[in-house]
Structure 1
């Protein structure tokens, strides 16, 4: 059993969980990146996050802080 809270989760599942919890507007405030603030969608966000390690790290950190620790 892995201690990694992201183990077994896809990036799509992480983004969808954050959108479900916060909505796009709040997510754009929490992580100020264009893919969350200008015409956001899960697919466009995934394309950006897969190419941009620093942004992906911010999304994963928010997920761990916000959702995984609440389980």
Structure 2
């Protein structure tokens, strides 16, 4: 068995998949209320949000935590 991160629920899940799931589940308005970042509140798009999240570890962590909470993981 070659699982390098067997206890990491985010292992193998791409940031784009996480963001697309959250947008589909909550919508941009609610997502922007839950996580206060401009890329969710001002002209939101998947592309601009991914760019921001890849450069900003604290924001990415918030998005990942919301994803885990929403999925019940």
What TM-score comes out, normalization by structure 2 length?
0.89
Unaligned runs of 5+ in 1: none
Structure exhibiting the larger radius of gyration computed from Cα positions: 2
Tell me, yes or no, if structure 1 residue 14 matches structure 2 residue 3.
Answer: no
Equivalent in the alignment of 2:69: 65
CA RMSD of aligned residues (A): 1.1
Tell me which of 13, 26, 31 is aligned to 1:27.
31
Unaligned runs of 5+ in 2: none
Distance in 1, Cα, partners of 2:69 & 2:20 = 15
Q: Runs in 1 of length 4+ with deviation above 4 angstroms?
A: none
Deviations 1:38-66 (A, max 9, x none): 00000000000000000000000000111
Deviations 1:1-33 (A, max 9, x none): 522111110000000000000000000000010
Please state which structure has a larger fraction of its residues in helix: 1
What TM-score comes out, normalization by structure 1 length?
0.92
